[in-house]
């Protein structure tokens, strides 16, 4: 199959946000079996078991079921290359001891089909209970919704209050689904891409081996980086690791990349006449596939990689030859598809896949969550927060009560709005249908999110709490009659922010890849690798590029790879340096500019050294500027930030350590949000899972603040001096006015 591709990268392409797995699965639309033709699995195919905890499936907190009839949903996917032979749901839950147990239970359903009920009893009330439920594998398809519904009663009286505090059950996030599967042998078809190498049905971390030539050149590594960033973009919140070897993976799918004559001997291919993409069976692993990205030379390998990440929708069959590829113009600053555009107010409808994600039902529903990714260097020079023009609708309470809408950012409360009761005139007159139906009241509020609470990755949480309308005993109330919605035309506005950052700050890199991701295609980035990189160095390089794709939502189409010997010859680019202390990626001539210099001894251990510390972070606690000298010894990994010597505001970030194996310690930190929050300053030392961050060197400024903003910032930092200058200015103005009036008076008197 030959393809002529002319593909341009647009700002809206590949856009996406960090949603929990359950939200992501719901946004996919219909849930149903794949229509891909699959050959029958071998009878001897080995079976495997996988365990998915609810926390892995997006339920990071307990499922809090409240009221007489409340439901929560967990979404579970089944890989395209596996078929389920058996499944077990293990529910771990606690329930109220005040229930009527013969009438109260949990109802479990899969894809709308009831499969089990779990009765309650008095013996285990108030305790953590575990129940195993066998699931019929015939109910499990590609995408599955597992519903857990609470049916609860606390009295036989007809005056039962649906808001009574006795009606509760909590399902633990340690609950799990165990599925037994056998592998399927998929056809060699490029139209299945990115499956089976990445399968969006699989919530686990992506681990995809890359097979590279024994001594890959810079162009081959750039092509591999493009593919790794693409797979990292697809993996998103799952994270991705890319181990590197020169031999085929014995038990996994893999990517084989390089010129035709440098491919492993066990890979059998026909003659090629240009950039080629191919899927073949992995000769080292039954039922596994290899994605071959090759060409007659390095340039053709690069064209094949570009075509794969930009034009995969056009592929079909087992092989494709690319005749032409155009990756489009260089990206503009701050236009990463996963970052919000900050030049104008952004309507909420651009933050969700479906407006129904802005609607909730029930008296105490889950929060409406909106993920906000913005550039890390946003700076509010005036001290103003982030304005939100919030429009919302809700079923108005009939009496004054505690119904409220709480607005939080990153789990920190911003404001709580009291929801007023209904008025007599609400039920009269003409009704005009709004954009979102099913709600009875519309209100609007302007509020500001404090700027200091906004980082590069944020979540805006909007939680409705609608109280019961019962006014007395035996006053009937319909069960869960209330609904609420946020209007899609509500807006959030970052337009008054400027781009300004005081560097180096490892928090910027750890949270969003800044400053490298300032250009989403990494056109202003060069990656420095050892002259002879090992598999640990290359694995760290590809995994770091995977993070870049995850942060930006775009493959790193223009990343440059250079070797340690050429590091000082790179100009007008930010440098990401990957290699251990003996690799030479940090030039000795820069030693005085680096915040830390690691020297490995003859035994590979970290030689004792000392350095001054200006600011210090330990376990997330900041110790103000002081004088301290630290000495470290033993194996260690480090993340360093610094200004490249001789440049004007160009940044360098080094992932280093006492040995190549220590690079994995830094990658482990970048995959854990709680550890990422501990990366600060310009030096972060990682050892035995502990992180010690500090500031050693001087800072520099990246970005620009207008002159009037600089004056304002100076005035805010010196309020007393501003008051003195204001008083002096007022006095001079008074003297000038008095003198002018005296002259005017004298002129009138003819003096």
3-class DSSP state for residue 548? Answer: helix
Could you count the other beta carbons within 10 Å of the beta carbon of residue 481? 13
Residue whose pair of structure tokens reads 């008197």 in the numeric block: 749
pLDDT band, residue 20 (cuts 50/70/90): very low
Q: How far is CA 292 from CA 206, 295, 326, 749, in A?
A: 19, 10, 21, 100
Residue whose pair of structure tokens reads 């990246």 in the numeric block: 702
Mean pLDDT, residues 287-304 taken together: 94
Q: How far is CA 461 from CA 37, 74, 213, 344, 393, in A?
A: 42, 20, 48, 21, 16
pLDDT band, residue 46 (cuts 50/70/90): confident
- 35 vs 237 pLDDT, higher one: 237
pLDDT band, residue 252 (cuts 50/70/90): very high
Of 164-173, 394-403, 488-497, least confident by mean pLDDT is 394-403
Residue whose pair of structure tokens reads 């993976």 in the numeric block: 249
The model's pLDDT over 95-116, given as tens digits with 9 standing for 90+, comes to 999 999 989 999 999 998 999 9
Closest CA to 88 of 22, 170, 171, 146: 146
Mean pLDDT, residues 249-255 taken together: 94
pLDDT at 429: 40
Burial class (CB in 10 A: 0-12, 13-18, 19+), 51: exposed
Residues contacting 30, CB < 8 A, separation 6+: none
Contact 211, 112 (CB under 8 A): no
pLDDT at 469: 61
The model's pLDDT over 322-378, given as tens digits with 9 standing for 90+, comes to 888 889 899 999 999 999 988 889 999 999 988 889 998 877 788 899 998 999 888
Closest CA to 54 of 177, 178, 137: 177
Q: pLDDT > 90: what percent of the chain? A: 48
Q: How far is CA 715 from CA 38, 118, 564, 711, 732, in A?
A: 70, 65, 46, 6, 20
Closest CA to 456 of 340, 553, 555, 344: 340
Burial class (CB in 10 A: 0-12, 13-18, 19+), 189: middle
3-class DSSP state for residue 119? Answer: strand
Strands 615-618 and 412-418, how do they pair?
Answer: unpaired
Mean pLDDT, residues 678-700 taken together: 87
Radius of gyration in angstroms for the set of CA atoms belonging to the chain, rounded to a whole number: 30
DSSP class of 129: E
Q: pLDDT > 70: what percent of the chain? A: 80
The chain-wide mean pLDDT, for the chain, equals: 83
pLDDT band, residue 434 (cuts 50/70/90): very low
Residues 259 and 500: their CA atoms lie apart, in Å, by 43
Residues 139 and 133: their CA atoms lie apart, in Å, by 14
Residues contacting 109, CB < 8 A, separation 6+: 115, 146, 147, 149
Closest CA to 644 of 465, 499, 504: 504
pLDDT at 451: 62
Given a cut of 60, whether residue 654 has pLDDT beyond it is: yes
pLDDT band, residue 564 (cuts 50/70/90): very high
Q: How far is CA 361 from CA 310, 386, 394, 413, 484, in A?
A: 40, 28, 9, 22, 6
Mean pLDDT, residues 684-704 taken together: 85
Contact 497, 662 (CB under 8 A): no
Residues 467 and 453: their CA atoms lie apart, in Å, by 29
| DSSP H stretches of helix in 316-360 | none
Q: How far is CA 207 from CA 239, 700, 704, in A?
A: 9, 38, 40
Could you count the other beta carbons within 10 Å of the beta carbon of residue 701? 11
pLDDT at 109: 95
Given a cut of 60, whether residue 321 has pLDDT beyond it is: yes
pLDDT band, residue 25 (cuts 50/70/90): very low
Instruction: State the DSSP string of 406-459.
Output: EEEETTEEEEEEEPPPP-GGGGSS-----SS-S--EEEEEEEEE-GGG--SEEE
Mean pLDDT, residues 82-91 taken together: 95
Contact 92, 63 (CB under 8 A): no
pLDDT at 382: 66
H or E stretch at 725 = helix 719-748
What token pair was written down for 608? Answer: 């004792």
pLDDT at 363: 75
pLDDT at 446: 66
pLDDT band, residue 212 (cuts 50/70/90): very high
pLDDT at 703: 80
The model's pLDDT over 492-505, given as tens digits with 9 standing for 90+, comes to 988 888 888 888 99
What token pair was written down for 420? Answer: 């007023």
Contact 266, 284 (CB under 8 A): yes
pLDDT band, residue 595 (cuts 50/70/90): confident
pLDDT at 440: 39
Given a cut of 90, whether residue 466 has pLDDT beyond it is: no
| DSSP H stretches of helix in 513-612 | 535-552
Between the CA atoms of 617, 622, 625 and 630, what dihedral angle is there, to the nearest 10 degrees? -20
The model's pLDDT over 119-155, given as tens digits with 9 standing for 90+, comes to 999 999 999 999 999 999 999 999 999 999 999 999 8
pTM: 0.84
């Amino acid at each position: 199959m030959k393809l002529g591709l002319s593909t341009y990268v647009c700002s809206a392409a590949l856009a996406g946000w960090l949603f929990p797995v359950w939200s992501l699965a719901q946004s996919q639309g219909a849930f149903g079996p794949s229509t891909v033709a699959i050959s029958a699995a071998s009878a001897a195919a080995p079976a495997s078991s996988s365990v998915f905890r609810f926390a892995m499936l997006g339920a990071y907190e307990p499922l809090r079921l409240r009221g007489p009839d409340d439901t929560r949903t967990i979404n579970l996917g089944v890989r395209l290359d596996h078929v389920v032979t058996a499944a077990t749901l293990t529910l771990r839950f606690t329930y109220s001891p005040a229930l009527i147990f013969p009438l109260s239970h949990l109802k479990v359903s899969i894809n709308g089909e009831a499969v089990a009920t779990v009765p309650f009893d008095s013996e285990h009330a108030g305790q953590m209970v575990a129940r195993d439920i066998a699931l019929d594998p015939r109910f499990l398809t590609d995408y599955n919704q597992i519903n857990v519904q609470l049916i609860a009663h606390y009295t036989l009286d007809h005056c039962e209050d649906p808001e009574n505090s006795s009606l509760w059950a909590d399902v633990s996030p340690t609950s799990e689904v165990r599925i037994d599967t056998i592998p399927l042998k998929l056809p060699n078809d490029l139209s299945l891409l990115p499956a089976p190498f990445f399968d969006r049905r699989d919530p686990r971390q992506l681990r995809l081996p890359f097979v590279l030539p024994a001594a890959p050149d810079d162009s081959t590594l750039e092509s591999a980086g493009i593919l790794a960033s693409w797979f990292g973009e697809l993996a998103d919140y799952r994270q991705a690791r890319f181990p590197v070897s020169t031999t085929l993976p014995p038990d996994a799918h893999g990517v084989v990349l390089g010129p035709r004559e440098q491919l492993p001997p066990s890979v059998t291919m026909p003659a090629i006449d240009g950039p080629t993409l191919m899927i073949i069976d992995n000769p080292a692993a039954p039922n596994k596939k290899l994605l071959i990205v090759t060409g007659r030379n390095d340039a053709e390998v690069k064209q094949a990689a570009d075509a794969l990440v930009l034009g995969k929708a056009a592929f079909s069959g087992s092989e494709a030859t690319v005749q032409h590829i155009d990756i489009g113009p260089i990206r503009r600053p701050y236009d990463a598809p996963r970052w919000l555009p900050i030049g104008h107010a952004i309507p909420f409808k651009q933050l969700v896949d479906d407006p129904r994600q802005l609607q909730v039902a029930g008296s105490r529903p889950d929060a409406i969550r909106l993920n906000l990714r913005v550039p890390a260097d946003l700076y509010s020079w005036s001290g103003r927060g982030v304005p939100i023009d919030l429009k919302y609708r809700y079923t108005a309470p009939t009496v004054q009560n505690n119904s409220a809408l709480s607005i939080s950012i990153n789990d920190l409360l911003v404001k709580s709005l009291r929801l007023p009761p209904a008025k007599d005139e609400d039920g009269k007159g003409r009704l005009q249908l709004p954009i979102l139906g099913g709600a009875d009241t519309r209100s609007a509020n302007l509020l500001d999110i404090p700027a200091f609470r906004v980082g590069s990755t944020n979540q805006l949480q909007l939680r409705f709490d609608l109280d019961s309308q019962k006014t007395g005993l035996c006053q009937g109330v319909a069960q869960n009659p209330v609904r609420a919605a946020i209007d899609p035309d509500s807006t959030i506005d970052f337009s008054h922010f400027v781009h300004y950052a005081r560097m180096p700050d490892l928090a910027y890199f750890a949270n969003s890849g800044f400053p490298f991701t300032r250009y989403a295609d990494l056109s202003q980035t060069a990656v420095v690798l050892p002259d002879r990189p090992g598999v640990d160095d290359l694995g760290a390089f590809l995994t770091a590029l995977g993070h870049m794709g995850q942060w930006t939502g775009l493959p790193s189409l223009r990343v440059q790879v250079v070797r340690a010997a050429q590091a000082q010859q790179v100009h007008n680019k930010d440098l990401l340096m990957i290699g251990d202390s003996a690799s030479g990626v940090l030039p000795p001539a820069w030693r005085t500019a680096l915040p830390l210099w690691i020297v490995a001894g003859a035994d590979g251990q970290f030689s004792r050294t000392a350095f001054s510390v200006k600011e210090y972070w330990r376990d997330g606690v900041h110790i103000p500027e002081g004088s301290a000298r630290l000495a470290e010894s033993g194996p260690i990994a480090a993340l360093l930030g610094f200004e490249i010597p001789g440049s004007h505001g160009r940044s360098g970030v080094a992932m280093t350590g006492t040995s190549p194996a220590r690079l994995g310690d830094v990658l482990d930190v970048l995959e854990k949000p709680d550890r990422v929050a501990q990366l600060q300053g310009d030096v972060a030392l990682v050892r035995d899972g502990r992180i010690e961050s500090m500031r050693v060197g001087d800072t520099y400024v990246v970005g620009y603040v207008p002159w009037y903003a600089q004056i304002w910032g100076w005035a805010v930092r010196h309020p007393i001096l501003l008051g003195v200058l204001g008083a002096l200015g007022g006095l001079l103005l008074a003297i000038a006015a008095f003198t002018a009036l005296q002259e005017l008076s004298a002129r009138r008197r003819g003096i």
